[in-house]
Amino acid sequence: GENVEQHPSTLSVQEGDSAVIKCTYSDSASNYFPWYKQELGKRPQLIIDIRSNVGEKKDQRIAVTLNKTAKHFSLHITETQPEDSAVYFCADRGSTLGRLYFGRGTQLTVWP
Amino acid sequence: EPEVTQTPSHQVTQMGQEVILRCVPISNHLYFYWYRQILGQKVEFLVSFYNNEISEKSEIFDDQFSVERPDGSNFTLKIRSTKLEDSAMYFCASSRLAGSLEQYFGPGTRLTVT
C-alpha cells in the first residue's frame, strides 16, 4: 500500500525564522496532498493542499511545493510565530477513492 | 463556520464491551470517514462511507467494526468487542462531494480500553 514518510519528527525554530517539513510518497498515481495542523487537544485542521497538476501553492505565510518526479512535497512556513507551534501532518490520497495516507507528524515549536 | 462534531470526547470501556462512537458530519457533506490514531503513531484510515454504504475499508476495519448512518445527521462507528489495542483517538471526517477532496475532521473521541 501507499507509504508516506515525513521528516523531521520534531523541529524547533526561533520566531521569525522559516520552517520546512518534507514528505515523500510511494504511489505515483497520487494526485492530492493536504497538510493538517493539530494543536494540542484539538482537531486536525486542513491548512493548505496541492493537487498534482500544480507545482507550488501559497497562502500568506504558508506554501507547499510538489515534485512529482521525485515524489516529494514540502510545507514551508515563513516568518514563524509562536502560534504556529503544533503538530503538522502531511497526507496524500494515493490512487484510492478518498482515503488519506498520513505521515507520522512533525512537532513544530516556535520559540519567542 | 460549520464543523464536524463528535461525542463523547472520551470513552473508557472494559475489554470485550461494545462501544459506539458518534459523529455529526457537516450538514451538506456526502462522504464520511473514520480514522484512528494510536498514541504516538500515524493517523490511520479505517473506513469511508457514501450513499449509505461502505466505499472503502482498510485492513484494520475487520468484523469487529461497523458503521452506520442511522438518520440524516449522525454517523456512527461501532466496535463490537473491544480489545486493549483498540485504545486510540478516533477521528470522524467528512467531505462535500466526490470531486471535493478536502476532508474536514472532528475533534476526536479518545477511547481507552481497560
Inter-chain CB pairs, A–B, below 8 Å: 59
- Segments of chain B with pLDDT less than 50: none
Instruction: Express each pLDDT in A38-62 by its tens digit.
Output: 998 888 999 999 988 889 999 999 9
DSSP string, B40-56: TS-EEEEEEEETTEEEE
Q: Provide the grid cell at A15.
A: 520566531
Longest dimension (CA), chain A: 42
- Residues of chain A neighbouring B55 (CB-CB closer than 8 A): 97-98
Residue with cell 510565530: A81
Nearest neighbour of A96 by CB, restricted to B35, B44, B56: B56
Of B43, B91, B101, the CB nearest to A93: B101
Encode burial over B9-38: b for 16+ CB neighbours within 10 A, e otherwise: eebebeeeeebebbbbbbeebebbbbbbbe
Beta-bridge partners for A59: A62
Alpha-carbon gap, residue A89 to B5, rounded angstroms? 21
- Best residue in A5, A10, A38, A43 for a mutation probing chain B (most B CBs within 10 Å): A43
Candidate from A6-15, A95-104, B13-22 with smallest mean pLDDT: A95-104
pLDDT in the model for residue B40? 82
Residue A21 CA, distance from chain mean position: 6
Residue in the block written with cell 494510536: B38
What is the phi/psi pair of residue B85, to 5°?
-75, -5
Q: What is the pLDDT of residue B100?
A: 63
Bigger pLDDT: B31 vs A96: B31
Residue B61: which residues within 8 A CB-CB, separation 6 or more? Answer: B46, B47
Q: How many Cβ atoms are within 10 Å of A42's Cβ, its own excluded?
A: 12
Element containing residue B109 per DSSP (H, E): strand B109-113
Is the pLDDT at A35 greater than 70? The verdict is yes
Mean pLDDT along residues A19-38: 94
Residue A11 near residue A18, CB atoms below 8 Å: no
User: Which string of b and e fits A57-79 if b means at least 16 CB within 10 Å?
Assistant: eeeeebbbbbeeeebbbbbbbee
Rounded Cα distance, B43 and B41, in Å: 7
Distance between CA atoms of residues A7 and A18, nearest Å: 15
